[in-house]
Amino acid sequence: MPKNVFKHSFSLLHIDYVKLNHKWNFNNVISPYYRLYYIDEGLGTISTNSEKIILEPGYLYLIPSFTICNLNCEEYLSQYFIQFFEESPDGISLFNQNRNVIKLAANETDIILIQKMLQGNPGRGINRSDNPKEYEKEAFYKEYRSLNDTMKTHLKFENQGILLLLISRFLNDKNFKQNAPQSTPSKILDSMSYIQLHLDKNLTVAELAQRVNQNQDYFSKQFQLHTGQRPLNYIHEKKIERAQYLIATTTKSLLEIALDTGFSNLPHFSKIFKQIVSLTPGEYRNKNDFYLNN
CA 120-124-127 angle, 5° bins: 150
What φ, ψ does residue 15 adopt, rounded to 5°?
-150, 140
What does the pLDDT average to over 272-281? 91
**Predicted local distance difference test score (pLDDT) of residue 182:** 43
- What count of other Cβ atoms lies within 10 Å of the Cβ of residue 245? 19
Query: What long-range pairs does 228-235 form, CB within 8 A, spacing at least 24?
Result: 228/97, 231/191, 231/205, 232/205, 234/192, 234/195, 235/195, 235/203, 235/205
Residue 150 scores a pLDDT above 80: yes
pTM of the full structure: 0.67
**Predicted local distance difference test score (pLDDT) of residue 17:** 94
**Predicted local distance difference test score (pLDDT) of residue 139:** 54
**pLDDT tens for each residue of 172-185:** 756 565 544 445 68
**pLDDT tens for each residue of 119-144:** 999 888 875 533 333 333 555 566 77
Lowest mean pLDDT among 3-17, 170-184, 256-270: 170-184
Residue 42 scores a pLDDT above 90: yes
**Predicted local distance difference test score (pLDDT) of residue 130:** 35
| 255 compared with 290, residue with greater pLDDT | 255
Within 13 Å and on the Cβ side, how many CA atoms surround 211? Answer: 16
**Predicted local distance difference test score (pLDDT) of residue 102:** 92
Which domains occur in the chain, in start order?
A: 3-171 (2.60.120.10), 181-291 (1.10.10.60)
Residue 116 scores a pLDDT above 90: yes
Q: Could you tell me how many helices (H) and strands (E) the chain has, helices first?
A: 10, 9
**Predicted local distance difference test score (pLDDT) of residue 1:** 45
Lowest mean pLDDT among 196-205, 241-250, 259-268: 241-250
**Where is mean pLDDT largest: 92-106, 118-132, 247-261?**
247-261
Which residues on adjacent β-strands are paired with residue 87?
Answer: 9
Residue 21 scores a pLDDT above 50: yes
What does the pLDDT average to over 235-259? 88
Residue 257 scores a pLDDT above 50: yes
3-class DSSP assignment, residue 285: helix
CA 50-269-288 angle, 5° bins: 55
